[in-house]
Structure 1
Amino acid sequence: MTAAIALSMAPARRCHRRGVSATAAALLARGDVAYLHARSATNNCYQFRIERV
């Protein structure tokens, strides 16, 4: 027996380096966002994960 987990992604949002904290805080304040993946805007490489503490 397997369990199905429904995951959904919030739309991507681009921000400048100085706006990362404010953008992350606003997205994490949403009830449907569990964590964020930060990616490079130039080549889309994964950079780091942002979680609530």
Structure 2
Amino acid sequence: MTPERAGCGVRRLMLAAGGHGIAHAKGHFELARILAVASLVGSLGVVLPATALPAT
């Protein structure tokens, strides 16, 4: 995976997390919950591959 593609996933993750905060602040609790779950699942997609990297 190229660094450009990896960065795109992190940007989507941060958008989901930010959207969760905005939705929660505006009282859209169902949307906030959906975005929270999406950001948690997305973070697994970032953290799990990172654990497979060799230690330097």
Same fold (TM over 0.5): no
Task: Name whichever structure is richer in strand by fraction.
Answer: 1
TM-score (norm 1): 0.30
TM-score (norm 2): 0.29
